């Protein structure tokens, strides 16, 4: 029976691909590449022993409705997977973080599917920022979902706000993330949770061997200052603030163990 394996490319060139993913690539009849760095990666993937690789990112039309892109890519992936014994689909980062195509394939593709864990931007972000996500607790959330469901969280958690490249729009302008990007609503929403002086950081983990991570900060009252720097590899991070409450009874219980 034909099988489709979805594997993650990691974030920084191919340094963060797992051995498990590389083994799958070697065994594959067809590899479909949905990353953004095909020219940089294709020769190295060939060295890994990949027999046949196609760049399917070209099926993604910038500036059109995101969902229409994913329907087109979904149909192509299913057709290739049905015509081969083993197909590997390569996606950026970890396949389970922010890749709606993966959910669509999992819920309705008529093929056997396996998803391999990979290194995500969340992994690289906590490393670049030097944060343990358990230390203060963390919220990882899609910006559009936060606004759509009016989600308000506790400011004493670290916050990683994903997809700030396309707020309030279903169109994805891959080369100009400022276009149609409604940060005024985003700012209004964040000001329901944080004070205007709270610092927001637009962070990008390095995506190539030759570059460094970037981190630009502004007070929430001046959030629009960061907009010119937003792109598809940036996440907005807001550091946890001092908690306002302490459960004294629980504290005494822990203290009693000392």
Ligand X SMILES: C[S@@+](CC[C@H](N)C(=O)[O-])C[C@H]1O[C@@H](n2cnc3c(N)ncnc32)[C@H](O)[C@@H]1O
**Residue 147's closest CA among 104, 192, 103?**
192
If one asks whether residue 146 binds ligand X (CB under 6 A), the answer comes out as no
The single residue among 120, 138, 144, 181 that binds ligand X, judged by CB under 6 A, is 120
The single residue among 205, 223, 226, 238 that binds ligand X, judged by CB under 6 A, is 205
Instruction: Give whole-number Cα distances, 51 to 24, 29, 30, 163, in Å.
Output: 12, 7, 7, 34
Beta carbons of 120 and 93 less than 8 angstroms apart: yes
Beta carbons of 142 and 50 less than 8 angstroms apart: no
If one asks whether residue 92 binds ligand X (CB under 6 A), the answer comes out as yes
The single residue among 207, 220, 223, 238 that binds ligand X, judged by CB under 6 A, is 207
If one asks whether residue 233 binds ligand X (CB under 6 A), the answer comes out as yes
Min. distance of Cβ 9 from ligand X in angstroms? 9
Nearer to ligand X, 50 or 165 (CB): 165
Nearer to ligand X, 87 or 235 (CB): 235
If one asks whether residue 235 binds ligand X (CB under 6 A), the answer comes out as yes
If one asks whether residue 99 binds ligand X (CB under 6 A), the answer comes out as yes
What end-to-end distance do the CA atoms of the chain give, in Å?
58
**Residue 95's closest CA among 18, 147, 2, 170?**
18
Nearer to ligand X, 65 or 83 (CB): 65
**Total of chain residues touching ligand X, rule CB under 6 A:** 21
In angstroms, rounded to a whole number, what is the distance separating the alpha carbons of residues 96 and 164?
18
In angstroms, rounded to a whole number, what is the distance separating the alpha carbons of residues 214 and 4?
35
The single residue among 232, 239, 240, 241 that binds ligand X, judged by CB under 6 A, is 232
Nearer to ligand X, 84 or 214 (CB): 214
Give me the 28-67 binding string for ligand X, x by CB under 6 A, dash otherwise: ----------------------------------------
CA angle in degrees (0–180, nearest 5) for 109-98-95: 60
Min. distance of Cβ 64 from ligand X in angstroms? 16
Q: What are the φ and ψ backbone dihedral angles of 136, each rounded to 5 degrees?
A: -110, -5
If one asks whether residue 234 binds ligand X (CB under 6 A), the answer comes out as yes
In angstroms, rounded to a whole number, what is the distance separating the alpha carbons of residues 157 and 207?
27
Residue 170: DSSP 8-state: S
**Residue 232's closest CA among 158, 179, 190?**
179
Site residues, ligand X (CB under 6 A): 11, 92-94, 97-99, 120-121, 125, 162-163, 165, 203-205, 207, 232-235
């Amino acid at each position: 029976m034909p099988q489709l394996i979805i594997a993650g490319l990691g974030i920084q060139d191919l340094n963060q691909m797992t051995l498990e993913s590389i083994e799958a690539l070697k065994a594959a009849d067809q590899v479909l590449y949905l990353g953004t760095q095909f020219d940089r990666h294709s020769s190295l993937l060939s060295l890994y022993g990949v027999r046949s690789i196609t760049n399917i990112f070209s099926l993604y039309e910038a500036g059109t409705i995101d969902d229409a892109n994913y329907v087109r890519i979904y149909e192509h992936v299913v057709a290739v997977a049905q015509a081969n014994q083993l197909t590997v689909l390569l996606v950026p980062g970890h396949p389970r973080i922010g890749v709606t195509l993966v959910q669509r394939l999992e819920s309705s593709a008529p093929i056997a599917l396996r998803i391999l864990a990979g290194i995500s931007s969340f992994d690289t972000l906590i490393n670049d920022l030097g944060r343990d996500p358990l230390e203060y607790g963390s919220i990882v959330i899609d910006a559009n979902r936060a606004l759509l469901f009016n989600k308000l969280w506790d400011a004493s958690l670290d916050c990683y706000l994903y997809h700030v490249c396309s707020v309030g729009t279903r169109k994805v302008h891959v080369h100009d993330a400022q276009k149609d990007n409604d940060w005024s609503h985003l700012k209004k929403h964040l000001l329901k949770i944080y004070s205007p002086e709270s610092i927001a950081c637009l962070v990008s983990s390095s995506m190539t061997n030759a570059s460094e991570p970037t981190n630009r900060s502004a007070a929430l009252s001046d959030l629009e200052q960061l907009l010119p720097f937003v792109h598809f590899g940036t996440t907005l991070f807001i550091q946890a603030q001092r908690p306002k409450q302490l459960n004294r009874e629980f504290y005494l219980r822990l203290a009693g163990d000392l």
